């Protein structure tokens, strides 16, 4: 028996995403539910059995036979059998089946195309149905349904000897791409079917008994319902442009789902789900009521959704945003979603208070301890946007707050252009208020920038403190690590941003310079014409003995030349000669620069190079060998005995040897007032 349509062409026009690979099975089960309702059976007398058909691989079958264990490797699913005791394929239902786009079950949400989905995912469908005819006699009807032949192998028997109404739909030949995308285990298939049919379980009257059978394993969806549900569903209705939408609020056990969702339904079927994560402030993770943890689901049904669902029942023909032109007349999906989320938020409000309090504490702790730069702008961020998951990582929280800061800065920039002049017809008092608000926001942004800079200093100090301690291996950090904290290596002034340097650790004045070089040969420096590139300590053969060089100012003559030498913590091998004495090394670099005729970074000569003041800093621990070299140079110990200082008239240079402890302590003292203002520890 042929169908009066181009079936293959019709199937090509039906879309079924791989994520919906089990939708044809769900359609068959929903059809069985409708058949039971049409037979006027109750939820206690209606029965549906869903049998999973598998084709075990030979090695799996051999393993099972030899080991005596039940299936331990998932056999491939080849199809399903859905059996019910509903009305069956009587004359009216058979006529409807033979008519594509039939309106026979339109009152139940039928679109007349559900059985076409069977042929999208299965090669053939076999139907066996025993039903009562108009005279009450039992009739058995059999046929197959394929893409190539449509309805075929039609057979209709007379009075059945079984005297039992029963219909079986065998979905056979699971097409590979859909089979691979499908859930594999009995439990996963049962859970997916339950979620699709949940509406039937929570509605008045409930669902018929549905059992999943898989090679001797049985799962009753009533048990799944008990496992999933925390409490009975709550219902309410909302109106959007004179269209009624019914909402069913459901609390599901936490082990039944990973996410809070909105489930949009049509024709008594689940069509699409959307996660609520990030859409309701405070809704993250699991919620808790008086009984247990739960996840939330809101099922949305409406005649409007029934009318606009696509024939494949995988989405809706509803515009997401109609724009201003049709906003007042057209219902958009964004409008539906927005109002549903609003009602869901109201329903969950009591459960979200704890999450909101924890979110506030999370942000307070993060800002006070790790990111004080955001404190000045917190009050400018809407409260609902500050309700974050307390388990959010520092990185994600930093990115979230930085996004808000960037938005405020963008607003400030736009307002800065607008605030330059009063608006047309604007009163002076209104303009002054607008200007005051702009200046207040600008002040908060600047406070944020300053807080970030100060916190950066605290982090650098903390890293330096750790770097000068003995490691787990019993060794101290190499010079390059400490060097990089103070100044990146092998770079010049134009190679890096000023924020990349931490010369303030040594002296705040070092931030202001005409030229700066780190681990560069004297011959490569534009501020001197020295060609002495063959000496090991200058050509950077031992890069840790090369200096950080700073020359101050732009005015002539140059104010000073500063040389900084950094040594490994607790190094105790200092002796006479530039190779072993860091003080001699620093003085030697200073002398070579002067002899090379000092000039500015822009190549302007500086007269009297030999008279330019020099400052030589040596950063190292005061070990016995260093202490001896300091005394030989006639240097004076500092009051805390953590360093030495003095002036060498022969080289016109101020010399200072600074221990790592003194370097850290002095930097802390200089910045203590700022740290205190931000509530940062300095100990």
Interval 123-168: pLDDT, tens:
999 999 999 888 888 889 999 998 888 888 888 776 656 678 999 9
pLDDT (0 to 100) of residue 537 = 28
Provide the token pair at 261. 């969702």
Query: 97 and 72 in one domain?
Result: yes
Residue 228 included in any domain:
no
Q: Coil, helix or strand for 433?
A: helix
Contact 53, 80 (CB under 8 A): yes
pLDDT (0 to 100) of residue 635 = 96
Number of CB atoms found within 10 A of residue 624's CB: 8
Domain range enclosing 563 = 479-673
Higher pLDDT: 333 or 12? It is 333
Closest by CA to 93, choosing from 31, 43, 157, 148, is 31
Contact 251, 296 (CB under 8 A): yes
* Residues 578-611 pLDDT 10s: 888 999 988 988 888 777 765 655 665 666 667 7
Distance CA 224, CA 232 (A): 14
pLDDT (0 to 100) of residue 294 = 85
pLDDT (0 to 100) of residue 400 = 87
pLDDT (0 to 100) of residue 258 = 65
Residue 555 included in any domain:
yes
Query: For the ranges 55-64, 171-180, 283-292, 544-553, which has the lowest average pLDDT?
Result: 544-553
Does the pLDDT of residue 253 top 70, yes or no? yes
Where among 335, 358, 381 does a domain terminate? 358
pLDDT cut 70: percent of the chain above it: 77
Query: 211 and 69 in one domain?
Result: yes
Number of domains within the chain: 4
pLDDT (0 to 100) of residue 310 = 86
pLDDT (0 to 100) of residue 72 = 44
Q: Which residues contact 553 (CB under 8 A, 6 or more apart)?
A: 512, 513, 514, 559
Q: What is the mean pLDDT of the chain?
A: 79
- Write down the residue that tokens 């860091």 correspond to: 582
Contact 592, 538 (CB under 8 A): yes
Q: In whole angstroms, how large is the CA radius of gyration of the chain?
A: 40
Does the pLDDT of residue 637 top 90, yes or no? yes
Query: For the ranges 11-20, 277-286, 487-496, which has the lowest average pLDDT?
Result: 487-496
Closest by CA to 294, choosing from 230, 200, 245, is 230
Closest by CA to 567, choosing from 547, 597, 595, 538, is 547
Query: 253 and 170 in one domain?
Result: no
Residue 407's Cβ-count burial label (10 Å; 0-12, 13-18, 19+) is middle
Query: 170 and 36 in one domain?
Result: yes
* CATH for 202: 3.30.565.10
Residue 624 included in any domain:
yes
Q: pLDDT tier at 538 (50, 70, 90 boundaries)?
A: very low
Closest by CA to 108, choosing from 13, 220, 203, 232, is 203
Residue 461 included in any domain:
no
Whole-angstrom CA distances from 330 to 94, 262, 316 are 39, 22, 14
Q: pLDDT tier at 57 (50, 70, 90 boundaries)?
A: low
Query: 187 and 54 in one domain?
Result: yes
Where among 311, 338, 358 does a domain terminate? 358
Helices (H) then strands (E): counts for the chain: 18, 22
Distance CA 492, CA 500 (A): 12
Query: 572 and 487 in one domain?
Result: yes
Contact 532, 591 (CB under 8 A): no
Please tell me the pTM assigned to this model: 0.52
Query: 243 and 162 in one domain?
Result: no
pLDDT (0 to 100) of residue 107 = 47
Provide the token pair at 9. 């062409």
Number of CB atoms found within 10 A of residue 341's CB: 17
For residue 562, the cross-strand partners are 550, 615
Does the pLDDT of residue 520 top 80, yes or no? no
Which secondary-structure segment (H or E) carries 80? strand 76-84
Residue 275's Cβ-count burial label (10 Å; 0-12, 13-18, 19+) is exposed
Whole-angstrom CA distances from 241 to 75, 238, 245, 247, 329 are 51, 10, 11, 16, 8
Residue 530 included in any domain:
yes
Query: 399 and 315 in one domain?
Result: no
pLDDT (0 to 100) of residue 211 = 96
* Residues 186-216 pLDDT 10s: 999 998 898 888 878 877 778 899 999 999 9
Residue 570 included in any domain:
yes
DSSP secondary structure, 528-591, as one string: -------STTTTTTTGGGSPEEEE--SSSS---EEEEEE--TT-----SSTTT-HHHHHHHHHH
Q: pLDDT tier at 533 (50, 70, 90 boundaries)?
A: very low
Query: 309 and 190 in one domain?
Result: no
Higher pLDDT: 279 or 557? It is 279
Q: pLDDT tier at 542 (50, 70, 90 boundaries)?
A: very low
Does the pLDDT of residue 222 top 60, yes or no? yes
**Average pLDDT rounded to a whole number, residues 426-440:** 72
pLDDT (0 to 100) of residue 437 = 75
Does the pLDDT of residue 33 top 60, yes or no? yes
Higher pLDDT: 120 or 7? It is 120
Higher pLDDT: 613 or 453? It is 613
Query: 179 and 95 in one domain?
Result: yes
pLDDT (0 to 100) of residue 264 = 93
Where among 454, 488, 516 does a domain terminate? 454
Considering 60-69, 133-142, 614-623, the range whose residues carry the highest mean pLDDT is 614-623
Distance CA 281, CA 279 (A): 6
pLDDT (0 to 100) of residue 324 = 75
Contact 474, 564 (CB under 8 A): no
**Average pLDDT rounded to a whole number, residues 356-375:** 82
pLDDT (0 to 100) of residue 633 = 94
Sheet holding 643-648, edge to edge: 491-492, 515-518, 548-551, 561-566, 614-619, 653-658, 643-648, 636-637
Number of CB atoms found within 10 A of residue 486's CB: 22
pLDDT cut 90: percent of the chain above it: 26
Residue 680 included in any domain:
no
Higher pLDDT: 420 or 121? It is 121
For residue 143, the cross-strand partners are 127
Higher pLDDT: 364 or 515? It is 364
Residue 225 included in any domain:
no
Query: 207 and 59 in one domain?
Result: yes
Query: 342 and 379 in one domain?
Result: no
Distance CA 455, CA 499 (A): 13
Whole-angstrom CA distances from 339 to 240, 329, 679 are 9, 16, 43
* Residues 378-415 pLDDT 10s: 877 887 788 888 888 888 888 888 888 888 777 766 76
**Average pLDDT rounded to a whole number, residues 570-574:** 89
């Amino acid at each position: 028996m042929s169908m009066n349509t181009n079936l293959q062409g019709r199937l090509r026009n039906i879309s079924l995403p791989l994520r919906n690979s089990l939708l044809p099975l769900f359609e068959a089960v929903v059809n069985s539910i409708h058949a039971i309702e049409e037979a006027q059976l109750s939820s206690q007398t209606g029965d549906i059995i869903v049998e999973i058909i598998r084709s075990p691989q030979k090695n799996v079958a051999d393993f099972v036979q030899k080991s005596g264990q039940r299936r331990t490797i998932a056999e491939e699913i080849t199809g399903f059998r859905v059996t019910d005791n509903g009305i069956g394929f009587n004359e009216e239902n058979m006529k409807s089946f033979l008519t594509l786009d039939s309106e026979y079950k339109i009152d139940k949400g039928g679109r007349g195309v559900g059985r076409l989905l069977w042929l999208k995912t299965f090669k053939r469908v076999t139907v066996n149905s025993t039903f009562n005819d108009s005279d009450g006699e039992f009739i058995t009807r059999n046929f197959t349904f394929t893409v190539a032949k449509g309805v075929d192998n039609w057979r209709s028997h007379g009075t059945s000897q079984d005297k039992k109404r029963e219909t079986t739909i065998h979905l056979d030949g699971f097409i590979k791409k859909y089979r691979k995308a499908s859930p594999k285990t009995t439990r996963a298939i049962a859970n997916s079917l339950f979620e699709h049919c949940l509406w039937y379980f929570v509605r008045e009257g409930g669902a018929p008994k549905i059992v999943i059978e898989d090679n001797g394993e049985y799962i009753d969806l009533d048990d799944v319902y008990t496992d999933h549900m925390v409490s009975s569903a709550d219902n309410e209705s909302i109106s959007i442009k004179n269209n009624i939408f019914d909402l069913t609020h459901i609390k599901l056990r936490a082990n039944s789902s990973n996410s809070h969702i909105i489930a949009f339904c049509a024709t008594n079927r689940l069509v699409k789900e959307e996660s609520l994560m990030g859409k309701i402030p405070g809704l993250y993770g699991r919620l808790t009521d008086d009984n247990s943890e739960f996840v939330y689901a809101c099922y949305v049904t409406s005649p409007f959704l029934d009318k606009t669902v696509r024939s494949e029942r995988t989405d809706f023909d509803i515009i997401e945003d109609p724009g201003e032109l049709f906003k007042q007349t057209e219902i958009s999906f964004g409008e539906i979603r927005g109002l549903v989320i609003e009602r869901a938020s109201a329903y969950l409000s009591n459960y979200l208070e704890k999450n909101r309090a924890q979110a506030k504490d999370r942000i307070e702790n993060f800002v006070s301890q790790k990111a004080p730069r955001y404190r000045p702008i917190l009050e400018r961020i809407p409260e609902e946007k500050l309700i974050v998951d307390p388990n959010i990582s520092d990185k994600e929280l930093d990115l979230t707050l930085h996004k808000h800061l960037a938005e405020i800065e963008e607003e400030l920039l736009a307002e800065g252009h607008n605030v330059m002049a009063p608006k047309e017809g604007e009163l002076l008092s209104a303009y002054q208020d607008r200007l005051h608000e702009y200046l207040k926001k600008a002040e908060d942004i600047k406070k944020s920038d300053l807080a970030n800079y100060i916190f950066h200093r605290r982090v650098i100090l903390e890293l330096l403190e750790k770097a000068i301690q003995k490691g787990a291996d019993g060794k101290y950090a190499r010079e390059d690590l400490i060097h990089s904290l103070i100044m990146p290596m092998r770079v010049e002034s134009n190679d890096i941003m000023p924020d990349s340097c931490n010369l303030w650790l040594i002296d705040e004045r070092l931030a202001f310079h005409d030229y700066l070089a780190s681990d560069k040969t004297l011959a490569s420096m534009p501020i001197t014409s020295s060609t002495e590139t063959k000496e090991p300590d200058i050509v950077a053969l031992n890069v840790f003995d090369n200096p950080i060089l700073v020359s101050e100012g732009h005015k002539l003559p140059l104010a000073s030349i500063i040389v900084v030498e950094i040594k490994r913590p607790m190094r105790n091998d200092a002796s006479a000669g530039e190779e072993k004495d860091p003080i001699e090394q620093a003085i030697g670099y200073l002398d070579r620069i002067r002899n090379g005729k000092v000039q500015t970074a822009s190549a302007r000569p500086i007269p009297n190079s030999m008279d330019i003041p020099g400052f030589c800093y040596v950063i190292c621990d005061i070990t016995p060998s260093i202490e001896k070299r300091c005394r030989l140079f006639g240097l004076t110990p500092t009051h805390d005995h953590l360093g030495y200082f003095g002036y060498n008239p022969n080289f016109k240079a101020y010399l200072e040897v600074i221990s790592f402890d003194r370097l850290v302590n002095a930097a802390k003292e200089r910045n203590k007032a700022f740290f205190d203002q931000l509530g940062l520890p300095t100990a």
